[in-house]
């Protein structure tokens, strides 16, 4: 599975540092010469090259001027901004409330045609019932001490669900069986959610797989993630929201999705999936 948020971000930072090192080498400058040209202490060049300190946009401009490659500046600054935006803490995302956090993701959902979602914690948002969403967002609002705009946030998420029923989009959902038994919102909410899940799984543009609980799994559960087309992966972590767009890392998540799916014989679909859902609902009475 892909590494943690911190290691993914650090790897991206090191990739930017490697580009700076390449530019320095092509210019024939050693660290002291480069530092002198930029008006820095030599230790700053070392920190930037080892990704111990992220460069500022002005640092990149100075570096490119000193190495006589001003044409590289724009691309490097774009990479810097991409790295800076990879990991965002929840407190920043939810600063304006849960409704705004829901609205901010809508353009991504609307421009995506192929969705792949794996969840080991909760039912994915696009196939939640209003009651389930309300219970999940209420828990977040209370735990993080946010402004109470839960009702508006629920309405926003429900509006976002229209992408499931409009256009030529395709959806593949993978859910751990344990999610079917997790108590979110109480018996009535969970029963309605499980019935809804069975219905969604019958849609022609939706593939719904359940990964059964078993004692001999060869692929253990992972953190939940979404793959949007083949361009971007989003991972919801305890501390924040990770956005991955590097092709090699997107491919790692796509490989993990395939390993957890029917390709590896782990997930079940169709009647077998509905049997697991109905069994979980039956335990609720």
The mean of the pLDDT values for the chain is 88
Q: Model confidence at 3, in pLDDT bands (50, 70, 90)?
A: very low
Say what the pLDDT of residue 165 is: 95
pLDDT > 50? residue 174:
yes
pLDDT > 80? residue 190:
yes
Summarize pLDDT for 144-170 with one digit per residue, the tens: 888 899 999 999 999 999 999 999 999
Summarize pLDDT for 73-119 with one digit per residue, the tens: 988 887 787 777 666 655 666 667 888 888 888 899 999 999 999 99
Domain at 88-282, CATH from 3.40.50, 2.160.10, 2.40.128, 3.30.870: 3.30.870
Q: Model confidence at 235, in pLDDT bands (50, 70, 90)?
A: confident
Q: Model confidence at 247, in pLDDT bands (50, 70, 90)?
A: confident
Query: Which residue ranges does the chain devote to CATH 1.10.260.40?
Result: 5-84
Residue appearing with tokens 């949007």: 228
Domain spanning 5-84 has what CATH number? 1.10.260.40
Q: Model confidence at 225, in pLDDT bands (50, 70, 90)?
A: very high
Tell me the C-alpha distance between 225 and 276, whole Å.
22
Say what the pLDDT of residue 220 is: 82
Query: Which residue ranges does the chain devote to CATH 3.30.870?
Result: 88-282
Q: Model confidence at 264, in pLDDT bands (50, 70, 90)?
A: low
Q: Directed axis angle between helix 42-49 and helix 5-27, to 10°? A: 130
Residue appearing with tokens 């030599």: 42
What percent of the chain stands above pLDDT 70?
91
Say what the pLDDT of residue 170 is: 97
Say what the pLDDT of residue 285 is: 77
Tell me the C-alpha distance between 65 and 73, whole Å.
9
Q: What's the full length of the chain, in residues?
A: 285
Say what the pLDDT of residue 8 is: 63
pLDDT > 50? residue 197:
yes
Sign of CA dihedral 68, 69, 74, 77: negative
How many other C-beta atoms can be found within 10 angstroms of the C-beta atom of residue 104? 12
pLDDT > 70? residue 233:
yes
Say what the pLDDT of residue 212 is: 94
Q: Model confidence at 1, in pLDDT bands (50, 70, 90)?
A: very low
- Three-state SS string over 88-103 comes to EEHHHHCCCCHHHHHH
pLDDT > 90? residue 204:
yes
Q: Which residue has the higher pLDDT, 214 or 196?
A: 196
What percent of the chain stands above pLDDT 90?
61
């Amino acid at each position: 599975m892909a590494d943690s948020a911190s290691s993914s971000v650090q790897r991206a930072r090191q990739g930017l540092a490697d580009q700076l090192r390449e530019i320095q080498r092509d210019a024939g400058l050693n660290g002291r010469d480069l530092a002198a040209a930029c008006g820095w202490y030599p230790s700053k060049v070392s920190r930037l090259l080892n990704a111990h300190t992220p460069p500022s946009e002005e640092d990149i401009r100075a570096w490119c001027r000193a190495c006589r490659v001003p044409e590289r500046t724009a691309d490097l600054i774009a990479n810097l901004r991409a790295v800076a935006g990879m990991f965002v803490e929840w407190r920043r995302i939810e600063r304006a409330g849960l409704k705004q956090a829901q609205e901010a993701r809508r353009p991504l959902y609307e421009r995506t045609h192929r969705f792949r979602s794996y969840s080991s914690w909760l039912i994915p948002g696009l196939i939640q019932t209003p009651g389930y969403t309300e219970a999940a967002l209420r828990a977040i609002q209370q735990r993080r001490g946010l402004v109470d705009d839960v009702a508006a946030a629920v309405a926003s998420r429900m509006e976002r669900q229209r992408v499931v029923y409009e256009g030529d989009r395709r959806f593949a959902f993978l859910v751990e069986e344990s999610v079917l038994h997790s108590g979110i919102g109480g018996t009535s909410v969970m029963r309605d959610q499980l019935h809804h899940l069975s219905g969604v799984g019958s849609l022609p543009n939706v593939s719904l797989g359940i990964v059964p609980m078993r004692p001999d799994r060869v692929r253990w559960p992972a953190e939940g993630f979404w793959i949007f087309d083949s361009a971007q992966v989003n991972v919801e972590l305890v501390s924040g929201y990770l956005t991955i767009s590097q092709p090699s890392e997107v491919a790692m998540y796509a490989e993990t999705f395939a390993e957890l799916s029917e390709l590896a014989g782990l997930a079940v679909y169709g009647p077998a999936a509905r049997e697991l859902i109905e069994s979980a609902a039956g335990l609720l009475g």
